Structure 1
């Protein structure tokens, strides 16, 4: 019991503090944003699994009823291998803290879900009031598109049912056909990868646990990497130069109004499109993806190791 909790704590702290800091300093995520997003998700899953498994073990040690239900199918030797009957006092305190953390995590995720549904509903109601009829002659093969009368060039993907691309008349007047296709491909890349839910998850965790470095880095890097990944989707189909020009045309008027972080990200995206970095080799991408997928298995192996040793 004590060894399991200590190992889970070590793994959780390692994945929550030094690994995210090293990943934010690395240069390869800019070359492979999709793989980097997967690595971040695996790190978050590892920390959450460490907390969840430690909570289950601690609860089983403190409450006999829970222990009887969790270890009901297991032989007596397996239960004895965990040493649940001799749990130290600090294990009870840790269990209470983990239970509070689990309840708070559930609350912040539920709050984010409610806020997303509310904001989407109000946004759709506003669009229904503002949207005119689709201009005649606009090619229908560009997909579900909603055009708003607005002098400022803008375009964004509206998730939901039905999902659609919202484009202002200012964007239609300023962008060429190829640039508009690049914008549409960029937004479809967001939609296919469900980047909106990834952004909501990272925001909820960072807001609920502002002092946890992993969640803060996860939010910041997710907002950056999803844009780089969508830029790559658009550039592969429409070309790097076309995508960069479309990005510049859509954001020229925001120079003074946008915050400093947005301007830095915009400049980084344009520079990256004009001078695209070389991608990792296919073997490197596959190896990184596989290793990241194995990281969440570490807390499970630690948790089940005593029981498997007893059975062996």
Structure 2
């Protein structure tokens, strides 16, 4: 059970307050939101992988049937290296706790997917009411871009099959051609990067484990960084000033420059576009990305090291 305890120590180290808070307070993710999102994903993947491998080893220590299945191909020396036959009494409770956590995580993910599917169905039904399909035999006018008759300026990407980019006539009247191009590029950036799946994952984990700092910070930062990443996609194509003006025009009625917490992100995004900071140099980006990619290998190294040592 030593390996299991070591894996749970890694979980405690990464999921506790200092690690996610340090990454939240760092300034470099604002300059490289895509890399920042990747680092958050790798940290969360490491914690989940640690819990999964600890569950497998714990179950192997408690249940002989599981042990026979897990270590069936391994020589006796490898099985002996993990010392699973002398599992302490508390190992049963720990294994049950880990199994409950795995079941709860699965339930939260399933619940989020069901809820997302329900919301998308409702939204698509509403869109069909406002923009019905033409009768059979007539040319179909609906494509990837759907224009709604509405004075309220808005634009959004509706994922799914088929995906739909929706813009209102209010936005068409309010924005210039270049500003509209920036808004549509922003939304397409969300779609190409599949930000919706990342948002669903982070929401499910934060909802299921609200007292785990890593998951709550992961959810908050994901919502923030996906917008910054899409802003960067738009600014690279249309320019920082055009993207900032489009953001102001499209959200002015919402209080884009307000200090209220719900609007603060919009103000930060505008300031970031008007006064862009230089990106990290390529070497720094490569090192950060590589280091983050290697972090999920830590639980695998901890798990397989006793067996590899026994074989050696």
Shorter chain as normaliser: what TM range? over 0.9
Is the Cα–Cα contact under 8 Å of residues 148 and 167 in structure 1 kept in the other structure?
A: yes
The residue number in structure 2 matching 1:140 is: none
Q: Return closer, same or farther for 1:22/1:254 CA change in 2, 3 Å cut-off.
A: same
Work out the CA distance in 1 between the residues paired with 2:89 and 2:282.
Answer: 50
The residue number in structure 2 matching 1:12 is: 11
What CA deviation, in whole Å up to 9, does each residue of 1:21-66 have, x standing for no partner?
1100111010000000000000000000010000000000000000
Shift of residue 79, structure 1, vs aligned partner:
0.4
Is the Cα–Cα contact under 8 Å of residues 248 and 270 in structure 1 kept in the other structure?
A: yes
Work out the CA distance in 2 between the residues paired with 1:103 and 1:63.
Answer: 18
The residue number in structure 2 matching 1:73 is: 73
Q: Which moved more, 1:145-154 or 1:27-36?
A: 145-154
1:79-228 equivalence runs, <5 A: 79-131=79-131, 144-228=144-228
Residue 231 (1) aligns with residue 231 (2): yes
Work out the CA distance in 1 between the residues paired with 2:177 and 2:49.
Answer: 47
The residue number in structure 2 matching 1:39 is: 39
Secondary structure of the corresponding residue to residue 224 of structure 2: helix
| Unaligned segments of structure 2, at least 5 residues | 135-142
The residue number in structure 2 matching 1:252 is: 252
Q: Return closer, same or farther for 1:94/1:158 CA change in 2, 3 Å cut-off.
A: same
Shift of residue 216, structure 1, vs aligned partner:
0.1
Shift of residue 93, structure 1, vs aligned partner:
1.3
The residue number in structure 2 matching 1:308 is: 308
Secondary structure of the corresponding residue to residue 165 of structure 2: strand
Work out the CA distance in 1 between the residues paired with 2:308 and 2:48.
Answer: 23
The residue number in structure 1 matching 2:140 is: none
Work out the CA distance in 2 between the residues paired with 1:181 and 1:212.
Answer: 40
TM-score (ref. length: structure 1): 0.94
Shift of residue 259, structure 1, vs aligned partner:
9.4
Work out the CA distance in 2 between the residues paired with 1:291 and 1:182.
Answer: 33
Work out the CA distance in 2 between the residues paired with 1:262 and 1:184.
Answer: 23
Shift of residue 294, structure 1, vs aligned partner:
0.4
| Unaligned segments of structure 1, at least 5 residues | 135-142
Is the Cα–Cα contact under 8 Å of residues 132 and 149 in structure 1 kept in the other structure?
A: no
What CA deviation, in whole Å up to 9, does each residue of 1:82-120 have, x standing for no partner?
000111122221111000000000001001111111111
TM-score (ref. length: structure 2): 0.94
Shift of residue 6, structure 1, vs aligned partner:
2.0
Is the Cα–Cα contact under 8 Å of residues 29 and 35 in structure 1 kept in the other structure?
A: yes
The residue number in structure 2 matching 1:137 is: none
The residue number in structure 2 matching 1:56 is: 56
Secondary structure of the corresponding residue to residue 84 of structure 1: coil
Shift of residue 263, structure 1, vs aligned partner:
1.0
Is the Cα–Cα contact under 8 Å of residues 132 and 148 in structure 1 kept in the other structure?
A: no
Shift of residue 309, structure 1, vs aligned partner:
0.6
List, as ranges, runs of 4+ consecutive aligned residues in structure 1 with deviation greater than 6 Å: none
**RMSD value over aligned CA atoms?**
1.5
What CA deviation, in whole Å up to 9, does each residue of 1:63-83 have, x standing for no partner?
000000000000001000000
**Aligned residue pairs, count:** 302
Work out the CA distance in 1 between the residues paired with 2:49 and 2:160.
Answer: 30
